Amino acid sequence: MAAPPWRKGIITRIENETPNTRRFWIQIPEVASFDFEPGQFVTIDLPIHEKPNKRWRSYSIASWPDGTNVIELLIVLLEGGKGTSYLFQEGKVGLELILRGPQGVFTLPKPIDKDLYFICTGTGIAPFRSMIHYIQEHKIPHKDIYLIFGTRKRDDLLYMDEMKRLEMEIEGFHYIPTLSRDQWEGCCGYVHAVYENLVNEKRTDHSVKEAGFYLCGWKNMVDEAKLRIQNLGYDKKSIHLELYG
């Protein structure tokens, strides 16, 4: 399939989500409706290098298809990162960007006929936010969905109030944030113990219940989760990763 064309995007709004994470709303004026599947990403061509492949940065779309030409991106400032440094220093309302998308196959199964585990760290929550809102808005039938979001400190919990509200509104949706550094009233530690415990609780006659695992976030987490999920008895086909092109 041919890659989508490069288009102009315009930043229309910026909000701080945490001390080092910002939400950027981008309008694509060439189209009346920017259509995509929840979980897909866009690539931005930033003026940070002479070679194109060193200018490109890909970000999952944090919003959900709503019939408009505006999307939201959730971006964390990376130490020494040229792309995020440019967006944080130069990114202002009215700034024009060149972007391409949507792309990617990190999307919801059709139908959702088994439990889903959305396992993420940091801004890896972005594609899952898109998926969950889409499920709610379109009243898509589903089994249990577990959003297991790991980060270091309470200040780094992204979209927390929103996710807690969605948990109350969507039957079968379970939001489980866990912190690896701060002590608090919720889960403490890494994401791995959370999904392992959930899977083991659902075992029947020593067999695991059919499920799908979606991983997005820090590379070390994703690599470890792939191994742990297979050790639980699932094959590689049950594991889905975000791969940027």
Alpha carbons 39 and 7: distance in angstroms, whole number: 20
Which token pair is 19?
């001390």
**Domains (range + CATH), the chain:** 6-103 (2.40.30.10), 115-241 (3.40.50.80)
Our measurement of the distance from residue 196's CA atom to the centroid of its chain's CA atoms, rounded to an integer in Å, reads: 21
pLDDT score of 245 more than 50: no
pLDDT digits (tens, 9 = 90+) for 85-108: 999 999 999 999 999 999 999 999
pLDDT digits (tens, 9 = 90+) for 52-91: 889 999 999 999 999 999 999 999 999 888 999 999 999 9
- 18-31 mean pLDDT: 96
pLDDT score of 189 more than 90: no
pLDDT score of 2 more than 80: no
Residues 62, 72 contacting (CB under 8 angstroms): yes
pLDDT digits (tens, 9 = 90+) for 135-171: 999 999 999 999 999 998 888 899 999 999 999 999 9
- Measured CA distances, 230 to 140, 142, 163, 201, 204 (Å): 28, 23, 28, 17, 17
